[in-house]
């Protein structure tokens, strides 16, 4: 069995062909999918996906994607936190969160603030984080290192779709409880096989 740890199953391009998507997943042994949230508008889409794909185990994350961290980010964070507090058992992780400087470098400061707030949530709620990092490894490592110190090493989670090389992987490993997974860079996958017969993969579906 496979668990896809990062799939935007609620994307319209997948929902509109949901029967085929579900059949294809099961045919390839994918039985469970973890859905990263994007912003306040995707929360209900994730909830709908649970019923839209009934043969699959669909689990949901809560978080604000760094590409959606704009002037209203604090209002979005407040709304997402309130959504979590309504029903904590609904969510399995805080994500997808992180830093992305590919599109816009001017928002770095507020991206860091949003990331720190959400890391704090993850420790308070006892949840792992799902990190999105693009063109920003240099910037994110100090944030994560400080967070590990602030929380006495309790920050845990994954870098999803890790695309860095061996040199970049070393500070990831130094963080301790933050692992990295990649669909493309199999030689860098962390964790290997888990007990039992389940395997784990991650990619940003739809691709």
What pTM value is reported for the model? 0.85
- What's the CA gap between 39 and 68, in Å, rounded? 7
Cβ neighbour number for residue 136 with a 10 Å cutoff: 20
Q: Return the SS3 of 147.
A: helix
The CATH homologous superfamily to which domain 2-201 belongs is Metal-dependent hydrolases (3.20.20.140)
HSE-CB at 181 with a 13 A cutoff on CA atoms is: 20
Mean pLDDT, consecutive 10-residue stretches, the chain (207 aa), reads 92 96 96 97 97 97 97 98 98 96 96 98 96 92 94 90 70 64 36 40 48
């Amino acid at each position: 069995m496979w668990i896809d740890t990062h799939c935007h199953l609620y994307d319209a391009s997948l929902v509109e062909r949901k029967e085929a998507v579900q059949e294809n997943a099961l045919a390839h042994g994918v039985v469970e999918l973890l859905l990263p949230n994007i912003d306040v508008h995707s929360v209900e889409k994730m909830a709908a996906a649970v019923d839209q794909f009934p043969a699959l185990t669909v689990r949901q994350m809560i978080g604000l994607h760094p590409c959606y961290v704009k002037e209203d980010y604090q209002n979005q964070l407040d709304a997402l936190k309130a959504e979590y507090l309504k029903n904590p058992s609904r969510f399995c992780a805080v994500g997808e969160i992180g830093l992305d400087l590919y599109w816009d470098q001017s928002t770095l400061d507020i991206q860091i603030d949003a990331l720190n707030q959400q890391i704090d949530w993850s420790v308070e709620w006892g949840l792992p984080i799902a990190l999105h990092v693009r063109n920003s490894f240099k910037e994110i490592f100090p944030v994560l290192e400080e967070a590990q110190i602030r929380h006495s090493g309790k920050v845990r989670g994954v870098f999803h779709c890790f695309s860095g090389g061996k040199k970049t992987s070393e500070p990831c490993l130094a963080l301790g409880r933050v692992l990295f997974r990649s669909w493309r860079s199999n030689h860098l996958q962390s964790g290997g096989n888990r007990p039992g017969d389940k395997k784990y993969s991650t990619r940003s579906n739809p691709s």
